[in-house]
């Protein structure tokens, strides 16, 4: 999927985590990031994927076979 090529490895990791459904705090703990850093990544995912919510991020990741 073309949109996935726009992501850094860290961005892809956050996107995969969002696709599984945990909170930003849970993702931060899992990936050893701060919550504001996860929030920034999620915000950039909205822009890069041209979506407006986390469910749509999850759908992109599901369609790509990554969750």
CA distance 65 to 35: 26
Name the residue range of residue 20's domain: 2-63
pLDDT at 3 over 80: no
Q: What's the pTM value of the predicted model, to 2 decimals?
A: 0.90
Q: What is the CA radius of gyration of the chain?
A: 11
What is the pLDDT, as a whole number, of residue 31? 97
**DSSP 8-state symbol, 34:** -
pLDDT digits (tens, 9 = 90+) for 29-46: 999 999 999 999 999 999
What is the pLDDT, as a whole number, of residue 40? 97
What is the pLDDT, as a whole number, of residue 67? 86
CB 27 within 8 A of CB 38: yes
Number of independent structural domains in the chain: 1
pLDDT digits (tens, 9 = 90+) for 10-26: 999 999 999 999 999 99
Return the CATH number at 40. Answer: 1.10.10.10
């Amino acid at each position: 999927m073309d949109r996935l090529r726009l992501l850094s490895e860290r961005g892809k990791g956050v996107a995969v985590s969002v696709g599984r459904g945990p909170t930003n705090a849970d993702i931060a703990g899992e990936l050893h990031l701060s919550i504001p850093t996860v929030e920034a990544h999620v915000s950039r995912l909205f822009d890069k994927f041209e979506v407006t919510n986390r469910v749509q991020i999850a759908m992109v990741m599901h369609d790509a076979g990554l969750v």
